[in-house]
Structure 1
């Protein structure tokens, strides 16, 4: 929690002022019973009206001061927690952006969403409560006990007789609450993940009429969250009855022995009233303890989850700037005996892969599903580092290239076309924020999407829905390709990025890309696409099965011939088989 609450440091003076204002409120609350005792003993019982008016006006005056202090405290506390929330969310988001792909695997996206939203809100609430009442409650209990001994030590002894029991009880309950609410937050992650998954697959769910089935699955995780919440709050609800019982027993003892003291004349009526007032304030403060423990337990669990993200050291990327001449310019790529397995498993995805692509050449990569094609592309921009072997770009080992310069030289078109909410122009410019309007249109023309854009009512200002929901699959793919071309990359990586294009559009695309002075690695399942490449790399279960031109592979590779024969010229490719 130390890391999380260190983000309050910029607001430490505001926090101090808020706490001082809270102490003003607390002081007034602790002084009031003494003033009431004075009014009773020296005013009401003595029949002195002037004393009643004098001390009554003082009570009104200090109450007004406490009221103003409370309003100001609330205003400052609100400013602090909102500023803190902004800072911690920015820090978390920035940290997440620095994660390597291997680190992303350890933190599911649903969990990260919960940490940046729900967990931040919970810590904000507990900070606000801390500046308003969370510290005030225990201080009110301690102050009431001290003032009670100041008023009448004998009666105060009965007031504090249950304190040791309550302290042990509250300690046990806070430990129990921390464990339970940590489990609740994990259940929230499960609900968030299920909602995210269903919203992303809404078309598929409707197409297969699986709404009822998915509702049943969601009900299962929602029920788990409900059960975890019920368990946590059921335990926490035990706190208030126990606190009130112990305090009421203490209060009854004060009243019983206080009445005897008044009868014998050893205690004044005002002193007993003051002790009772302090007892009532303690009871009220203790009643807040159950809520404080609930909020604190949830906040501690949330803070630990956020801190887990912020303290990650290994598995983060350093994006630093290198000298201007230290940039890939030719785009030559060479794999030397490269093997790779993901951090979470020892099963190799790539095994002893070697090949080379000269500057400006086009390499087609083919293979069955799961043969390691996409993984191979991911090693070039260093989303992952090879487990064994070396990858060279322009004669420099890829690990020696600064990430910023390496990735600026690469245009990536992923298998799943990802578009962002905004205009078409915004999405194209996302590839290069400095690109001119002419550059964007030039890239759109190359990607064969310009004519489609011109037909939209607002053309390049047309709004793109979330993930491009209002565009066809082919339009999304071509926009993704145009976005990569805007960068003018030395290396262009296309991960099965033309699967939704018709034959004529794809042919026009490849013809336009021939003019692009970039080294291209193209994952494809279409023989007609592979034919146009300088070389073809055929992968089988992570190993190089064949490498060469179309003609060479037709002669030397039975697997490639099988694929070619299964695809009639101009037809759609069948599923590749190993």
Structure 2
């Protein structure tokens, strides 16, 4: 909890200022019953109106001062709360950006969103309450009780019994509700998770007529959240009536004893009025504690959830003193590489050893689950190898600064992900300072320039969320342009031409031939693999064959089956066999 609250340090002056203003309000609240003692006992009882006017004017003046202090306090408390929330959200987002792929397995997207939004809001609202009224309430209880004892010790004994009992009850409720609010937040995570999935997959849901099923799933999660929230709220809401009953009962007891004290001339009427006034203020403060209790309990749960993210140790640490590394050739070497996803015992890649020469084009074929995408993710060090090493230009990628490494690699993932914004901004996302000429050139290499120019606003056409207003092929080509604009020494294309027609793909692959850089392509198409210098066949995490198309036809039964399964034209197949006979 201390880690999260440390973000309050820059605003200590504002906090002290807010507390000073709060103490001014508190002082007025504590003094007013004493002023009433003077007005009643020395003014009204004795018939001296000058006393009434004098002390009444002082009450009015102090009330105006308290009002001004309260307004100013609200501004200061709001300033601290809002800036604190901004700083924590920024720190959370920055921390999440440092996560490796393995770290993201610990937190779902929905829970990270909830922690960045709902949890931060809970804490900043609680901070506002603490600066505005939450600290005032216990101080009013303490000093109000002390004032009662100073006015009349015997009558104060009643409050001396009931107030400690009430405080003990509040502490017990706080501990109980804090745990329950953690459960509520986890239920909220579940609701947000289902909602996020449904919004992302709404077209698929409608196409498969699964709206009823997804509605039932959401209803179940939402009902669980509602049920747990009602349970917690019911427990918390019981606090106020119980406290009111105890404190009001104590006031009745005080009045009963006060009647005897007045009749025996051991107490003044003004004293009794002041004691009752203090008792009512204490009751209001304890009731306010019920409201504060709910916020503090939720804030405590939220603080632990935020702290959990901020204190997450990033698995892929790097030496901050590493000098910048510049990829010169783009030579890639896998040395006895084995890989298992963190927390999983299944070996995805098993003892891979191969080299890729500078400017070479490699096509990687394999069935679903063979480990193709996993192999790609090891090159820019999105994951660390379990065994062995990946070298680029003779340097282990673990010895490079991740920023330097990834900045020189162009990766086009299997699922083309675009961001809300214009086409220009999405291409420029690959190189922040890219000029318009560079953007156009990258688009031409990706075979998307002519298509973009047909849009009403060309490069300034706004893309919907995740590229909803574009076709699959258009999204893939914009993703390719985003990678091309970096002019990386190593280019990784993960089945990035699957949505392209044969003519467009042919142009794209021809353009890649003249691209200066090492290129690795994951593909399911033999027609695409034919454009590569060499082909790797991956099966169950192992490279079972590698070589040119002709060589593989001779030595690999699996490759021949893949070729035959794609129904290559007999003439083309025969041509390949004939040409392969002339190869070494």
Q: TM-score, normalised by structure 1?
A: 0.97
Structure 2 contact 322–399 (Cα < 8 Å) conserved: no
Partner of 1:275: 275
Larger CA deviation: 244-253 vs 504-513: 244-253
Structure 1 gaps of 5+ residues are 572-578
Residue deviations 1:408-444 (CA, integer Å, cap 9, x gap)? 1100001111111111111111101121111111110
Aligned to 2:495: 496
Query: Are 2:34 and 1:44 aligned?
Result: no
Q: Deviations over 1:554-573 (max 9, x none)?
A: 222222111111102389xx
State the 1:168 CA deviation.
2.3
Any idea what SS the aligned residue of 1:275 has? helix
Let me know the Cα RMSD of the aligned residues. Answer: 1.3
| Contact 1:37-1:270 at 8 Å conserved across structures | yes
Q: What SS does the corresponding residue of 2:347 show, helix, strand or coil?
A: coil
- Are the counterparts in 2 of residues 95 and 310 from structure 1 also a CA contact under 8 Å? yes
**Structure 1 residue 319: deviation in Å?**
8.9
- The equivalent of 2:345 in structure 1 is 346
Q: Distance in 1 between matches of 2:17 and 2:555?
A: 80
Question: Retained in 2: the 8 A contact 1:538–1:544?
Answer: yes
Shift in alpha-carbon separation, 1:533–1:182, aligned structure 2, 3 A? same
Structure-to-structure mapping, 1:125-274, within 5 angstroms = 125-274=125-274
Spell out the pairing of 1:134-533 with structure 2 (5 A cutoff).
Answer: 134-315=134-315, 323=323, 326-533=325-532
Q: Give distance in 2, aligned partners of 1:263 and 1:570.
A: 116
Q: Which residue of 2 aligns with 1:21?
A: 21
User: Structure 2: any 5+ residue segments left out of the alignment?
Assistant: 571-584
Give the Cα–Cα distance (whole angstroms) in 2 for the partners of residues 243 and 350 of structure 1: 64
Whether 1:68 aligns to 2:68 is yes
SS of equivalent to 1:487: coil
Q: What does the per-residue CA deviation read over 1:359-381, in whole Å, with 9 as the maximum and x for residues that have no partner?
A: 00111111111111101000000
User: How far apart, CA to CA, are the structure 1 residues paired with 2:183 and 2:436?
Assistant: 51
Which residue of structure 1 aligns with residue 77 of structure 2?
Answer: 77
- Cα distance in structure 2, aligned partners of 1:533 and 1:132: 69
Q: Contact 1:421/1:465 (CA < 8 Å) preserved in 2? A: yes
- CA deviation vs aligned residue, 1:438-463 (integer Å, no higher than 9, x gap): 11111100100000000001001111
Secondary structure at the counterpart of residue 171 of structure 1: helix
Is the Cα contact below 8 Å between 2:318 and 2:398 reproduced in 1? no
Q: Flag as ranges the 4+ runs of structure 1 deviating above 3 A.
A: 316-324
Q: What is the CA–CA distance in structure 2 between the aligned matches of 1:154 and 1:540, rounded to whole Å?
A: 89
Query: For residues 404 and 93 of structure 2, what CA distance do their matches in structure 1 show?
Result: 23
- Conserved? CA contact 2:100–2:314, under 8 Å: no
Describe the shift of the 1:316–1:276 C-alpha distance in structure 2 as closer, same or farther (beyond 3 A). farther
1:550 counterpart residue number: 549
Instruction: Work out whether 1:57 is the aligned partner of 2:70.
Output: no
Q: State whether residues 160 and 250 of structure 1, in contact with CA within 8 Å, keep that contact through their aligned partners in structure 2.
A: no
Partner of 1:87: helix, strand, or coil?
A: helix
More displaced, 401-410 or 89-98?
401-410
Query: 1:58/1:163 Cα in 2 relative to 1: closer, same or farther (>3 Å)?
Result: same
1:164 is displaced (CA, Å) by: 3.0
- SS of the aligned residue for 1:217 comes to helix
Count of residues in Structure 1 that have an aligned counterpart in Structure 2: 570
Give how far 1:469 is off: 0.8
* Matches for 1:100-139 after TM superposition, within 5 Å: 100-139=100-139
User: Counterpart in 2 of 1:576?
Assistant: none
Relative to structure 1, the CA distance from residue 384 to residue 550 in structure 2 (aligned partners, 3 Å threshold; closer, same or farther) is: same
Asked if 2 retains the 8 angstrom alpha-carbon contact of 1:503 and 1:570, the reply is: no
Q: 2: distance between equivalents of 1:314 and 1:421?
A: 29
Partners of 1:139 and 1:564 in 2: CA distance: 82
What TM-score do you get using the length of structure 2 for normalisation? 0.96
Deviation at 1:163, TM superposition (A): 2.5
- Provide the C-alpha distance between the structure 2 equivalents of 1:317 and 1:241, rounded to a whole number of angstroms: 54
The aligned residue for residue 579 of structure 2 is none
Show the counterpart of 2:578. Answer: none
Counterparts of 1:518 and 1:560, CA distance in 2: 27
SS of 1:106 mapped into structure 2 = coil
| Structure 1 partner of 2:563 | 564
The superposition leaves residues 527-547 of structure 1 with CA deviations (integer Å, 9 ceiling, x where unpaired) of: 111111111111111112211
* SS of residue in 2 equivalent to 1:117: helix
Which deviations, in whole Å up to 9, do the C-alpha atoms of 1:323-358 show, x marking residues without a partner?
A: 55x311111111111100011211111111111110
Distance, in Å, in 2 between the alignment partners of 1:12 and 1:32 is 30
